[in-house]
Amino acid sequence: MALDKDTIAKRIAQELKNGFYVNLGIGIPTLVANHVPPGIAIEFQSENGVMGMGQFPFEGEEDADLINAGKQTITTMPGASFFDSAVSFSMIRGKHIDLTVLGAMEVPENGNIANWKIPGKMVKGMGGAMDLVASAENIIVAMMQVNKRGESKLLKRCSLPLTGIKCVKKIVTELGVYEIIPEGFLLVEYAPGVSIKTIKNATEGTLIVSDNLKEMSFS
């Protein structure tokens, strides 16, 4: 059965390693923070200027001066720090962030990514995404594999304006986990109960099934 968004986040949380500084994008990526494996130390950065983000505040304790990049009220953990936007992107551009998780509208098989604009229709802007994908060495895309009109978002080629080129390393969707390899999308894990046929139908780009393919595990 296809995963829900929270379970996608849970699977991505398995990629967290002790000592990682992590930037989570808006949407599914934000949910990753709820699934940090016990016993490892992680610090979450939000590019608007905080390292060491905590949970949402208790009701009545919201502070207008304390938000994340999704404009949500947040709290901080012990050891947190605030800094300005130039310093924040020094962390990102300077490769000090160990893992970046972000959403996408389209990912083609060469590892490009598009997530900020639909010409003539919708322009939200790239926010910090272009800086993140241009510099991060460890980028995971978290998204639904199929859009609302039933079309695959894992493509041969992007049709939308790009956010970055040849930067995506791994993709986690409701159907599977993919790595970008020279030949295309390498399926390394499938969601419990989802058939390879379903995955193939939902992948417009070249799909290669790994010799070590396994079912996602959430033990």
Partner 1 sequence: MINKEVRNVAAALEGVEDGMTLMLGGFGLCGIPENSIGALVEIGVKNLTCISNNAGVDDFGLGLLLQKKQIKKMIASYVGENAEFERQMLSGELEVELTPQGTLAERCRAAQAGIPAFYTPAGCGTEVAEGKETREFKGKMHVLETAYEADFSIVKAWKGDEAGNLIFKGTARNFNPAMCGAGKITIAEVEELVPAGSLDPNQIHIPGIFVNRIFQGAKFEKRIEQRTVRSK
- Active centre residues (catalytic): 47
Total residues belonging to the chain: 219
Q: What residues contact residue 38 under an 8 Å CB cut-off, 6+ apart?
A: none
Which of 194, 207, 219 lies closest to 2 in space, CA to CA? 194
Q: Verify binding: residue 38, partner 1, rule CB under 8 A.
A: no
Please identify, using beta-carbon distances, which residue of 1 and 118 lies nearer to partner 1. Answer: 118
Q: Verify binding: residue 84, partner 1, rule CB under 8 A.
A: yes
In the complex, the smallest distance separating the C-beta of residue 218 from partner 1, rounded to whole angstroms, is 23
In the complex, the smallest distance separating the C-beta of residue 114 from partner 1, rounded to whole angstroms, is 9
Dist CA 62 CA 50 (whole Å): 16
Choice from 8, 28, 42, 194 touching partner 1 (CB under 8 A): 42
Q: Verify binding: residue 207, partner 1, rule CB under 8 A.
A: no
The answer to whether 138 and 145 are in contact (CB under 8 A) is: no
Cα separations in angstroms, 217 against 5, 7, 164: 16, 11, 31
Please identify, using beta-carbon distances, which residue of 51 and 187 lies nearer to partner 1. Answer: 51
Q: Verify binding: residue 64, partner 1, rule CB under 8 A.
A: yes
In the complex, the smallest distance separating the C-beta of residue 132 from partner 1, rounded to whole angstroms, is 8
Q: Verify binding: residue 209, partner 1, rule CB under 8 A.
A: no
Dist CA 197 CA 194 (whole Å): 8
Choice from 3, 13, 16, 74 touching partner 1 (CB under 8 A): 74
Mark residues 125-154: x for contact with partner 1 by CB under 8 A, - for none.
xxxxxxx--xx-------------------
Binding residues among 85-114 for partner 1 as defined by CB under 8 A? 85-97, 112
Among 67-75, 99-107, 145-153, 201-209, which window interacts with partner 1 (CB under 8 A)? 67-75
Dist CA 82 CA 84 (whole Å): 7
Please identify, using beta-carbon distances, which residue of 1 and 41 lies nearer to partner 1. Answer: 41
DSSP 102-122: E--SBEETTS-BB-SEETTTE
Dist CA 81 CA 92 (whole Å): 15
